[in-house]
């Protein structure tokens, strides 16, 4: 697979021009605590030298950038520095969890027969996973084991070939990463059974998590990956998780991720970095619900021609929740197709953010890209910021974007009420239909029904509030 | 039975219904005719409880019970049904799902047990067959892509299913060709019963050839200005509304 190594110009102060120099702000208590935590992690015995070096470089990048504030354009609507005002200790990850506890928080879906990989506070726990049931051609390794095997190529893959460079939280994740897995699907293997990563947060005390996982789908291989993040939502946490996809030529990856229930005061940055080879296909759907304060950012790059990607998602926000969906889709190779379809239901005093950029490089002719973000605001104090962007340097492309922000159609609500549906039931029905339109894009019927059921349950909770 | 007494309705501060009185008995089919802008549709929305139609004074009783002040769904559960002039489309919700939600919401409100899916399907199918509504329409998104005639048929199908004690038909003939008009009218006529009253709102006399009214009321400038038998409709068709517009 061909990997482009270009990176976008970074918004850095121009050292040559003193008028444009920006003073580096004093580190916040959280930034200072992170520096200490980083040092302690580096000093731990057993960290291979090349890994320590790689982490040090990542931390240096982070130190230069700091935690992003609203003055950083990509983070304008999500002031992470302010959200992370209070430093939490790094997770120590020594907690026993029973299989029953996992099943209670993440019941197995009837009929799905998924192979489960359980991560507890980010760390792979073989005893809780279906480790012995890995299909032929699928290799699963704990991240620290994989790193210890002195595989330099792995570090390149873990850096997602440069995707997301220039983003402080991603660099911070690399510097502090703990736990995670490396999952490899060999070339031409068609994994019929979905693989489900259950990531459980034990929430024993206020902690911060930095986990990074890598999934490589070999040439011509196919795989369905479900990421189920769960937590009781009892204790606030600071989470920074990165998932990296390397989808080789002619490979297909179907991905469905559901956000955890985060306790009030939690802050989560979830990043997906995906590199796509020629003729490959990626579908990724994200459900966000009860996530407190979440930034879901996806960086996707088409490295080979004739590949396609469908990024979609539904966010259900209420209370004072904040959800920022940010996408950067880079078309470098020609003849690729990207579709981004997102819906947001924003209730109460919640805030939704959608930032989507499709950028088409000069050589990426015949790119077919379209992006849509639609929001319904049902809360009196709800807010939505929609910012779709196109950045096109090729002259033979079809690209479009649309963003809408509106309220429920009162005519439809009245019509349904005139048939006997109480207002909240009528609203739920209409909202369900609004979200269902995107959920329908999930190909696996069991997963589709599961996601729809979660949407329905969440909306029904409005009627009982 | 529907009793409207001295009803005043304003829409955005503008008075539209201005002291309207009307009684429609059980089993009676009353037609309201009137020129554009006389307040006919406002009357139907005010009776059914649409937001933005402010009742400044008056009373509307359904079967002896005051319904003004109740939300639209409770009025529906008490037996009121409005067949819309322009039925809404609800993308993403199948017709079956919508009908089931409507019927079971009303049953729940009245304290009846909700219908099971098989029982419900049996009822819908029977009602659909009578109105010539094809089964595949029931599986499609509610009213989405339906023709004008199909949408009106769907209104009558809902009425048949929900079995209201009082039905208001708002310009049910608009947008219908002769064949569709006949099918829809037959559907309504089949629902006529000594226990069910109707208020038929229309511009034209044509609909009343199919749904023959017991009484005809002429509405102008927000009130009833003339009441008569079915022959009044014929007279209006011949002479127009001019005399009544002047009278109001």
Alpha helices in B30-169 (DSSP H): 40-48, 72-77, 95-109, 117-131, 135-139, 148-162
Residue B30 and residue B27: Cα distance in Å, rounded? 10
Q: What crossing angle do the helices spanning A410-418 and B95-109 adopt, rounded to 10°?
A: 60
- Quote the tokens at residue A41: 């992690």
Does residue B42 sit at the A interface (CB-CB below 8 Å)?
no
Question: Residue B210 region, left (φ>0) first, then alpha (ψ -120 to 50), else beta?
Answer: alpha
Closest residue, chain A, to B80 (C-alpha)? A418
Any residues with CB less than 8 A from the CB of A426 and at least 6 apart, and which? A412, A413, A416, A417, B73
Chain B contact for A436 (CB, 8 A cutoff)? yes
Residues of B in contact with A408 (CB under 8 A): none
A424 interfaces chain B, CB cutoff of 8 Å = no
* Per-domain residue ranges of chain A: 93-408, 409-465
> In a 3-state reduction of DSSP, which class is residue A36?
helix
Element (H, E) at B65: strand B65-66
Chain B's closest residue to A419, CA to CA, is B102
Closest CA to A231 of A209, A212, A216, A247: A209
Whether A344 contacts A309, CB under 8 Å: no
Mutate to test the interface with B, among A409, A419, A425, A426 (most CBs of B within 10 A): A419
Distance from C-alpha of A114 to C-alpha of A431, rounded to nearest angstrom: 30
pLDDT tens, residue order, chain A (465 aa): 334 333 344 444 444 555 555 566 789 999 999 999 999 989 888 888 889 999 999 999 999 999 999 999 999 999 999 999 999 999 876 678 899 989 999 999 999 999 999 999 999 999 999 989 999 999 999 999 999 887 788 999 999 999 999 999 999 999 999 999 999 999 999 999 999 999 999 888 899 999 999 999 999 999 999 999 998 888 999 999 999 999 999 999 999 999 999 999 999 999 999 999 999 999 999 999 999 999 999 999 999 999 999 999 999 999 999 999 999 999 999 999 999 999 999 999 999 999 999 999 999 999 999 999 999 999 899 999 999 999 999 999 999 999 999 999 999 999 999 999 999 999 999 999 999 999 999 999 999 999 999 999 999 888 655
pLDDT score for A428 = 94
The reported pLDDT for the residue numbered A6 is 37
**Interface contact B73-A423, CB threshold 8 A:** yes
Q: Does B146 touch chain A (CB under 8 A)?
A: no
pLDDT at B107: 95
> From CA A354, how far away is CA A345, in angstroms rounded?
12
Q: In Å, how far is A433's CA from the nearest CA of chain B?
A: 4
CB contact under 8 Å between A417 and B98, yes or no, is no
Per-residue confidence (pLDDT) for residue B75, from 0 to 100: 97
Spatial separation of the C-alpha atoms in residues B237 and B239, rounded to whole Å: 6
Cα gap A28→A393, rounded to integer Å: 39
Cα–Cα distance list, A337 to A1, A224, A250, A285, A296 (Å): 18, 20, 14, 17, 22
- Rg over CA atoms, chain A: 22
* CATH code matching the domain that covers B29-39+71-247, chosen among 3.30.200.20, 3.40.50.300, 3.40.50.150, 3.30.70.250: 3.40.50.300
Residue A18 contacts B where some CB pair is shorter than 8 Å? no
pLDDT at res. A463: 66
Which parts of chain B sit beneath pLDDT 50?
A: none
B154 touches chain A (CB under 8 A): no
Candidate from B49, B75, B101 with C-beta closest to A421: B101
Chain A residues with CB under 8 Å of B87 CB are: 415
Q: How far apart are CA A353 and CA A355, in angstroms?
A: 7
At B14-51, the pLDDT tens digits run: 999 999 999 999 999 999 999 888 999 999 999 999 99
Note whether A433 contacts B: Cβ–Cβ < 8 A.
Answer: yes
Q: If residue B98 lies in a helix (H) or strand (E), which one and from where to where? A: helix B95-109
Beta-carbon count within 10 A of B23 CB: 14
Query: What pLDDT is recorded for position A86?
Result: 93
- B:78-137 residues touching chain A, CB 8 A cutoff: 81-82, 84, 87-88, 90-93, 97-98, 101-103, 105-106, 109
Task: With a threshold of 0.90, tell me whether the complex ipTM lies above it.
Answer: yes
């Amino acid at each position: 697979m061909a990997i482009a190594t270009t990176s976008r110009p970074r918004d850095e102060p121009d050292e040559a021009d003193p008028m444009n120099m920006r003073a580096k702000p004093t580190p916040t208590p959280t930034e200072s605590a992170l520096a200490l935590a980083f040092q302690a992690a580096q000093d731990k015995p057993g960290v291979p030298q090349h890994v320590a070096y790689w982490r040090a470089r990542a931390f240096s990048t982070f130190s230069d950038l700091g935690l992003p504030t609203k003055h950083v354009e990509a983070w304008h609507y999500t002031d992470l520095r302010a959200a992370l005002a209070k430093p939490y200790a790094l997770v120590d990850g020594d907690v026993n969890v029973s299989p029953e506890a996992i099943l209670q928080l993440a019941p197995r879906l009837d009929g799905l027969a998924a192979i489960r990989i359980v991560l507890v506070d980010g760390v792979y726990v073989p005893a809780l996973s279906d480790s012995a049931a890995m299909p032929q051609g699928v290799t699963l390794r704990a991240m620290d084991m994989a790193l210890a095997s002195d595989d330099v190529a792995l570090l390149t893959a873990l850096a997602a070939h440069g995707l997301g460079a220039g983003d402080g939280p991603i660099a911070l994740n690399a510097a502090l990463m703990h736990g995670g897995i490396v999952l490899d699907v060999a070339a031409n293997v068609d994994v019929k059974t979905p693989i489900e990563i259950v990531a459980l947060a034990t929430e024993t005390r206020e902690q911060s998590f930095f986990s990074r996982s890598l999934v490589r789908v070999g040439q011509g291989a196919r795989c369905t990956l479900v990421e189920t993040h769960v937590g009781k939502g009892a204790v606030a946490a600071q989470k920074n998780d990165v998932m990296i996809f390397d989808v080789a030529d002619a490979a297909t990856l179907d991905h469905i991720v559901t956000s955890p229930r985060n306790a009030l005061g939690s802050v989560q940055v979830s990043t997906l970095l995906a590199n796509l080879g020629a003729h490959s296909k990626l579908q990724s759907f994200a459900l966000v619900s009860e996530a407190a304060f979440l930034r879901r950012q996806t960086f996707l790059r088409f490295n080979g021609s004739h590949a396609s990607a469908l990024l979609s998602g539904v966010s259900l926000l209420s209370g004072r929740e904040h959800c920022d969906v940010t996408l950067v889709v880079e078309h470098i190779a020609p003849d690729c197709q990207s579709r981004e379809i997102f819906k947001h239901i924003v209730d109460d005093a919640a805030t939704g953010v959608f930032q989507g950029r499709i950028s088409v490089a000069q050589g990426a002719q015949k790119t077919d890209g379209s992006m849509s973000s639609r929001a319904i605001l049902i809360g009196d104090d709800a807010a939505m910021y929609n910012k779709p962007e196109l950045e096109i340097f090729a002259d033979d492309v079809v690209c479009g974007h649309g963003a809408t922000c509106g309220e429920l159609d009162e005519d439809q609500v009245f019509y349904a009420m005139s048939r006997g549906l109480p207002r909240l039931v009528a609203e739920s029905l209409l909202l369900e239909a609004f979200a269902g339109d995107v959920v329908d894009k999930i190909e696996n019927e069991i997963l589709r029904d599961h996601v729809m059921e979660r949407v329905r349950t969440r909306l029904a909770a409005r009627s009982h509030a | 039975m529907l009793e409207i007494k001295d009803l005043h309705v304003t829409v955005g501060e503008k008075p539209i219904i201005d002291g309207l009185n009307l009684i429609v008995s059980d089993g009676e089919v009353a037609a309201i005719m009137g020129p554009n802008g006389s307040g006919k549709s406002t009357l139907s929305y005010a009776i059914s409880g649409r937001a933005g139609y402010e009742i400044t004074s008056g009373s509307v009783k359904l079967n002896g019970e005051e319904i003004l002040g109740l939300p639209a769904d409770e009025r529906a559960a008490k037996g009121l049904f409005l067949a819309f002039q322009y039925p809404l489309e609800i993308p993403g919700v199948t017709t079956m799902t919508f009908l089931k939600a409507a019927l079971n919401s009303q049953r729940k409100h009245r304290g009846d047990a909700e219908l099971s899916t098989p029982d419900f399907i049996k009822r819908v199918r029977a009602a659909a067959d009578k109105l010539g509504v094809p089964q595949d329409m029931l599986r499609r998104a509610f009213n989405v892509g339906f023709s004008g005639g199909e949408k009106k048929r769907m209104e009558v199908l809902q009425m048949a299913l929900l079995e209201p004690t009082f039905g208001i038909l708002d310009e049910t003939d608009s947008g219908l060709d002769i064949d569709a008009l006949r099918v829809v009218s037959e559907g309504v006529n089949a629902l006529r019963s000594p226990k069910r009253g109707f208020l038929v709102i229309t511009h034209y006399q044509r609909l009343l050839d199919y749904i023959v009214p017991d009484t005809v009321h002429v509405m102008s400038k927000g009130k009833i200005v003339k009441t008569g038998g079915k022959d009044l409709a014929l007279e209006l068709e011949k002479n127009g509304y001019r005399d009544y517009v002047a009278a109001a």
